[in-house]
Amino acid sequence: MKFNTKLESIETYEAGKPIELVVREFGIEPKDIVKLASNENPYGCSIKVQQAVGDIVQNMALYPDDSMMKLKNALTKKYDILDENLIIGSGSDQVIEFIMHAKADENAKILINSVTFAMYEIYAKHVGAEVIRTTSQEHNLDEFYTLYKKENPDIIFLCTPNNPTGDALNAVDMMEFLEKIDSDTLVVVDGAYMEYGAFKDESKSVSPKELIEKFDNVIYLGTFSKAYGLGGMRVGYGISSANIIKELYKLRPPFNITTLSLEAASIALEDEEFVNNCIALSFEEMKRYEEFAKEQKIDIIESYTNFVTLLLNADQDSTTLSDALLRRGMIVRNLKGYGMNAIRVTVGTKEQNDRFFALCSELL
């Protein structure tokens, strides 16, 4: 059978391995498995969310509120923006997909960082757009600007803090960069880890309100999958000018967010204290990763997120290490596919991290 030729060059995105797979493949008990591969919140979500979701289970027959009023009200209040500036997606992934279909086609060019979130490229290929990458591992705005001038891309993706490296842009530098971009180029600012970056260093904190007040060609992305501990609920959002949001809405399937997810995300916003505590704990635990790396004489990238990237030495292989960890029930992300001899590890709870340090020092 013949398929859309655009699919030929696409490598299927490999999500972080689920615990269920390790149970099946290696016969390890679920309780003995630690998953530090997908940057979820190891402390879970607020108890308030758990209670609210329990109440909804009795009312599953009806379609969700497609206006998403409760969640939209909570988000517009949080960010001090208008309804017309907001779109909710099934994860911010879905918003990236809308963006791609709204702005790009076979003739489009997409400018992204050399090492960044893999889905930008995959969605670009869905529409047949050309992907242009910078060369430096960290976002270098000078290089972005040079490539912007040379290639005139339709969309630029800035991921700050960046996945899978954990570094973050200075917000002032980013605003200066945006000033220089023509209004016909759409700039996506992916803030999936912004809660972490802003907590660690105020100068990394990007305000979506300020972004859309200053620029009508910029869209900010946020998600409930990381700091809010709702990775399983699939809720993300885009904040942009009314003009852009209006176009994205044309691509949104009805009822793209379940009743359960809408409620969970709405309630999660009522318990910011829980989220801040988790973030504080995460950075406390991250110090132990920095010490561990020092002891093991391996490099670590300074991280503004809830994960660390360990850059292995030449005599250590990230594929060998991550496979060996997996056989012992420890799931981490191998970055070989990104061209790096490195592993990305989500900062877990104290116990999970203890386990990682023990296994990893044994294997290295």
Question: Which residue, 42 or 231, is less far from ligand PLP as judged by CB?
Answer: 231
Task: Candidates 48-56, 70-78, 88-96, 203-211: pick the segment binding ligand PLP (CB under 6 A).
Answer: 88-96
Report in angstroms how near the CB of residue 314 gets to ligand PLP at its nearest. 28
Stretch in the footprint of ligand PLP (CB under 6 A) among 27-35, 105-113, 225-233, 328-336: 225-233
Q: Is 224 exposed, middle or buried, given 0-12, 13-18 or 19+ CB atoms closer than 10 A?
A: buried
Residues 35 and 232: beta-carbon distance below 8 Å: no
The C-alpha atoms of residue 60 and residue 226 are separated, in whole angstroms, by: 26
Stretch that binds ligand PLP, among 44-52, 170-178, 220-228, 348-356 (CB under 6 A): 220-228
Region 187-206 residues binding ligand PLP, contact defined as CB under 6 A: 190, 192
Contacts of 314 (CB under 8 A, 6+ apart): 341
Longest alpha-carbon distance in the chain? 57
**Helix residue ranges, H only, 8-160:** 19-26, 47-56, 69-79, 91-103, 119-126, 141-151
* Residue 159 touching ligand PLP (CB under 6 A): yes
User: Binding residue for ligand PLP (CB under 6 A) from 41, 46, 92, 185?
Assistant: 92
C-beta closer to ligand PLP: residue 97 or 154: 97
93 lies in the binding site for ligand PLP (CB under 6 A) = yes
Tell me what percent of the chain is helix, strand and coil, each rounded to the nearest 5.
45, 15, 40
C-beta closer to ligand PLP: residue 159 or 359: 159
Nearer to ligand PLP, 94 or 217 (CB): 94
How far apart are CB 95 and ligand PLP at their closest, in Å? Answer: 8
Residues in CB range of 102: below 8 A, 6 or more apart: 244, 247, 248, 250, 251
Q: Which residues bind ligand PLP (CB under 6 A)?
A: 91-93, 117, 159, 163, 190, 192, 223, 225-226, 231, 236
